[in-house]
Amino acid sequence: MSNTVAVASHPEPDNNYWTAGYGLKSWLLTTDHKRIAILYLIMISVFFVIGGLFAVLIRLELLTPAGDLVSSDTYNKLFTLHGLVMIFFFLIPSIPAVMGNFLIPIMIGARDLAFPRINLLSWYVFAIGGMTTFAVVLFGGVDTGWTFYTPYSSTYSKTAVGLTAIGVFITGFSSILTGLNFVVTIHKMRAPGLTWFRLPLFVWAHYATSLIMLIGTPVVAITILLVFLERVFGVGIFDPALGGDPVLFQHLFWFYSHPAVYIMILPSMGVISEVVACFSRKRIFGYGFVAFSSLAIAVLGFLIWGHHMFTSGQSILAGMVFSILTMLVAIPSAVKVFNWTATMYKGSISFETPMIYVFGFLGLFTVGGLTGLFLGALGLDVHVHDTYFVVAHFHYIMVGGAIMGYLAALHFWWPKITGKLYSEAWAKLSAIIIFIGFNLTFFPQFLVGYLGMPRRYHVYPDEFQIFHILSTAGASILAIGYAFPAFYLIWSLFRGEAAPANPWNAKGLEWTVPSPPPKHNFDTIPVVKEEAYDYSRLEEEVV
């Protein structure tokens, strides 16, 4: 961190949130939002490793066209569990439950979330949902795909669908509780002077995300419950043999699960806004447009579920409505990308690790977003639907976009969260390895997808092999890239230099408190007198 402005370091306070209590009980019964964020961080990291191991096995199997490493049933369970774990237990909670939990109260000048005990409850609910999923693995796994399409899931699958449904159902409540907590906190607990349009865009993004969590999650919970009722009690809802409608399930499922994509990407967009402003020393270009584009995405996101169903037999008219709305939702994302780019114009740009991740995000998210247009265009989607083109597209969004954003956040706020500095050299190296590995893994999948390689295939025709070899090679590089941070970040906890309060010379209330923050964040509640990202007034702020 040689090229950052040196900031006078606060003396290590005695009562920071790490040292405020010792022993397991002080952690497991904590209502401190910062400690709960750490509990989430530990748990989702474990899930990320597990989900990643499933991915490694999938990629190894696909190295050859024949099914030679695992059986078809095992393969089907691997991609199902990979999807389930990564989506419900890593991506959805990743930035909101860890970074949002830790930062939102500090960013808005509050001492905690509105409902600290509900916050702890949501972690326990999440943990119980997670344990249920572990139990699914012990009971032989589940093979429906994370999408649970009926009547396969409700009638035909012989695996532990019921238990998985319970696990996802429970986990959903953790999301609902977190969303509720954020909405109330952002409405009611902003410091004096912190008007809506002075809020950091990270907070705006989380506000939009929380709305989706609150409105969407109950729908998926009900849907999963209906699958459970049909499977266990034979109530005919989705299976035509019982008088149900299998396509109804798809409508209900995607009504939540398409907005869920925005639960995963919006918080990441919030992170990018914070980081790009800091390392360009500029306020965000078009603050209002970036803020409202988050809300536009949240609202439009609820109206486009049918674009997952262009070949399901829905009417041509329905297809057209969903297609036109899908094209519209692309616009706020494009607006954000242009505004971030414009933020760099005439800035003072430096290249610390979080900013490297922003560059990675801009490249990968742009590819992910643009390839969404291929899928939104009706006649073209018919061909690429359910192929590797879709697999590549959503990995560019959810890994390229969401995880790049998550890693940017982790590296940006790590000194704040832990009070330690990590090695810039190692961190930059791993960011570059991740970027290269990611593209090598997923870019070939666009090509093989357009050639017609269907997703969820255990064996495949020989002519697709070259693309799978490239993809598996990329995945090994990506795995190394993801392993590095685990080492240098943990190493920094023990051997890292102590972090000053504001190592990046960044704006925002979280940088005005010591690193790590004291138990109650602020001794006196701050009064906000300026807009967000007022980097031109930097000196006055430096203590």
Partner 1 sequence: MLSNIQILPEVASTMAGKVDALYFFITAVSVFFFLLVMLLVTFFAIKFRRRSKDERPEPIHGSLKLELLWTVIPFILGMAMFGWGAVLYFDMFTPPVEGMNIYVVGKQWMWKIQHPEGNREINELHVPVGTPVKLIMTSEDVIHSFFVPAFRMKMDVLPGRYTTAWFEATKPGKYHLFCAEYCGTKHSQMTGSVYAMEPVDYQDWLERESVATLSMAQAGEQLYNQLGCGTCHAQEAEPRGPSLYGLHGRAVELLTGNAITADDSYIRESILLPAAKLVAGYGPLMPTYKGQVNEEELLRLVAYIKSLNLDTEDSTSESRGGKELKEHRNE
Task: Spell out the residues 6+ positions from residue 431 whose beta carbon is closer than 8 angstroms to its own.
Answer: 353, 356, 357, 360, 407, 481
Nearest CB to partner 1, comparing residues 192 and 240: 240
- 48, HSE (Cβ side, Cα atoms, 13 Å): 20
Q: Do the beta carbons of residue 350 and residue 335 sit within 8 Å?
A: no
Stretch that binds partner 1, among 1-9, 392-400, 412-420, 518-526 (CB under 8 A): 1-9
Stretch that binds partner 1, among 189-197, 265-273, 340-348, 432-440 (CB under 8 A): 340-348
Residue 273: both structure tokens together: 């806004």
Q: Contacts with partner 1 in 105-144 (CB under 8 A)?
A: 143
Binding string, 301-320, against partner 1, x = CB under 8 A? ---------xxxx--x--xx
Q: Is 195 in the site for partner 1 (CB under 8 A)?
A: no
Residue 16 phi/psi, 5° resolution? -75, 170
Q: Is 3 in the site for partner 1 (CB under 8 A)?
A: yes
Q: Is 374 in the site for partner 1 (CB under 8 A)?
A: yes
* Cβ neighbours of 536 (radius 10 Å): 11
Q: Do the beta carbons of residue 281 and residue 538 sit within 8 Å?
A: yes
Strand partners, 498: 420
Min dist. Cβ of residue 93 to partner 1 (A): 26
Which position has the token pair 């990643």? 52
C-alpha distances (whole Å) from 280 to each of 284, 311, 411, 465 are 9, 45, 17, 43
Q: Please tell me the distance from the alpha carbon of residue 220 to that of residue 224, in angstroms, as a whole number.
A: 6
Residue 222: both structure tokens together: 């009900």
Which of 18, 115, 338, 484 is close enough to bind partner 1 by CB under 8 A?
338
Which of 376, 419, 437, 517 is close enough to bind partner 1 by CB under 8 A?
376
Binding string, 405-444, against partner 1, x = CB under 8 A? ----------------------------------------
Q: Do the beta carbons of residue 504 and residue 95 sit within 8 Å?
A: no
Which of 289, 443, 484, 491 is close enough to bind partner 1 by CB under 8 A?
289
Nearest CB to partner 1, comparing residues 34 and 307: 307
Which of 175, 210, 280, 294 is close enough to bind partner 1 by CB under 8 A?
280
* Cβ neighbours of 280 (radius 10 Å): 23
Q: Please tell me the distance from the alpha carbon of residue 531 to that of residue 197, in angstroms, as a whole number.
A: 7
Min dist. Cβ of residue 151 to partner 1 (A): 6
Which of 450, 484, 491, 522 is close enough to bind partner 1 by CB under 8 A?
450
Min dist. Cβ of residue 255 to partner 1 (A): 18
CA 37-42-44 angle, 5° bins:
90
Q: Please tell me the distance from the alpha carbon of residue 526 to that of residue 50, in angstroms, as a whole number.
A: 42
Nearest CB to partner 1, comparing residues 198 and 282: 282
Which of 53, 121, 215, 534 is close enough to bind partner 1 by CB under 8 A?
534
On the question of a cis peptide bond just before residue 516, with omega within 30 degrees of 0, the verdict is yes
Stretch that binds partner 1, among 18-26, 112-120, 264-272, 329-337 (CB under 8 A): 329-337
Nearest CB to partner 1, comparing residues 34 and 458: 458
Which position has the token pair 């993004």? 205
Nearest CB to partner 1, comparing residues 315 and 524: 315
Min dist. Cβ of residue 174 to partner 1 (A): 27
Give the DSSP H/E element, type plus range, for residue 356.
helix 353-376
Nearest CB to partner 1, comparing residues 31 and 366: 366
Residue type, 256: Y
Q: Contacts with partner 1 in 198-257 (CB under 8 A)?
A: 239-241, 245-247
Nearest CB to partner 1, comparing residues 218 and 286: 286
Binding string, 19-58, against partner 1, x = CB under 8 A? ----------------------------------------
DSSP string covering 14-42: TTBTTTT--SHHHHHT---HHHHHHHHHH
Q: Contacts with partner 1 in 344-373 (CB under 8 A)?
A: 344-351, 359, 362-363, 366-367, 370-371, 373
Min dist. Cβ of residue 479 to partner 1 (A): 24
Nearest to 395 by CA among 339, 451, 434: 434
Binding string, 140-179, against partner 1, x = CB under 8 A? ---x-x-x-x-xx--xxx----------------------
Binding string, 453-482, against partner 1, x = CB under 8 A? -xxxxxxxx-x--x----------------
By three-state DSSP, how is residue 498 classified? strand
Min dist. Cβ of residue 273 to partner 1 (A): 13
Q: Please tell me the distance from the alpha carbon of residue 360 to that of residue 366, in angstroms, as a whole number.
A: 10
DSSP string covering 98-164: IIIHHHHHHHTT-SS-S-HHHHHHHHHHHHHHHHHHHHHHHTT---STTTT-TTIIIII--SSHHHH
Task: Spell out the residues 6+ positions from residue 138 whose beta carbon is closer than 8 angstroms to its own.
Answer: none
Which of 82, 385, 393, 395 is close enough to bind partner 1 by CB under 8 A?
385
Query: Rg of the chain's alpha carbons, rounded to an integer?
Result: 23
Stretch that binds partner 1, among 43-51, 212-220, 225-233, 281-289 (CB under 8 A): 281-289
Which of 89, 90, 102, 287 is close enough to bind partner 1 by CB under 8 A?
287
C-alpha distances (whole Å) from 102 to each of 106, 293, 469, 516 are 7, 24, 41, 11
Which of 15, 19, 26, 72 is close enough to bind partner 1 by CB under 8 A?
72
Min dist. Cβ of residue 228 to partner 1 (A): 18
Stretch that binds partner 1, among 72-80, 130-138, 167-175, 483-491 (CB under 8 A): 72-80
Site size for partner 1, by CB under 8 A? 98
Q: Do the beta carbons of residue 532 and residue 508 sit within 8 Å?
A: yes
